[in-house]
Amino acid sequence: MRIWKMNIYVKLFAVCLFSVAVAACATSGVVGKSDPASGKSEIVEIQNKSLAKKVSIKDFKSRVINDLLNVQVEIQNNFNSTQEFQYKFSWFDTTGFAVESGGDSWKTLILHGQESKTVQGLAPNPTATKFKIVLRKL
């Protein structure tokens, strides 16, 4: 009986350890969206609250250049220590379908203490009218 109880404790500990490990590996971060037609830019989703405390999106800007949606996002490191992030843009057409999905790769962004940097993205073709940026910390 005692051995059985001990086994339960060991299993519970393993489950807790696993869930902590999974939480630590969570990579999704802040999702922002912009629609240049309406001029609206907003953070639509914060998937990782601890990341959202470390980094904030100060400003969104978007324009159309050569029929292609060009966006600029200003990202601020809220901490005094250097933080390393990755970001990726995704593009969508007017109906919400992903444009050239899988075409964009993750890019590394290093922000020193309290530093803010701008990152830019250019839509892969003129059908893209909306964008999404996802930040993650590995």
Partner 1 sequence: MKNWIKPIIVATVASLALGGCTSVKYGDAGSVETTTVDFGSTDLQGIASKMVDSLLTFPPMVDVTSKRRPVMFVDRIKNKTTEHIDTESITDTISTKLLRSGKFRFVDMTKVQAVKKQMDYQQDSGLVDPTKTMGFGKQIGAEYMLYGNMSSIVKRDGGTKDVYYKFTLKLMHLESGILEWQDEKEIRKTKSKSLFGK
Residues that bind partner 1 (CB under 8 A): 65-68, 70, 86, 88, 100, 102-108, 120-122, 124-126, 138
Task: Report how far residue 116's alpha carbon sits from residue 109's, in angstroms, rounded to the nearest whole number.
Answer: 11
- At a CB cut-off of 8 Å and minimum separation 6, what does 15 contact? none
- State the nearest-atom distance from the C-beta of 23 to partner 1, in Å: 20
Closer to partner 1 by CB, 66 or 95: give it.
Answer: 66
User: What's the min distance (Å) between Cβ of 65 and partner 1?
Assistant: 5
CA atoms within 13 A on the CB side of 133: 28
Q: Which is nearer to partner 1, 57 or 134 (CB)?
A: 134
H or E element at residue 89: strand 83-92
Q: How many helices (H) and strands (E) does the chain have?
A: 2, 8
Decide whether 113 or 126 has the Cβ nearer to partner 1. 126
Q: How far is the CB of 117 from partner 1 (least distance, A)?
A: 16
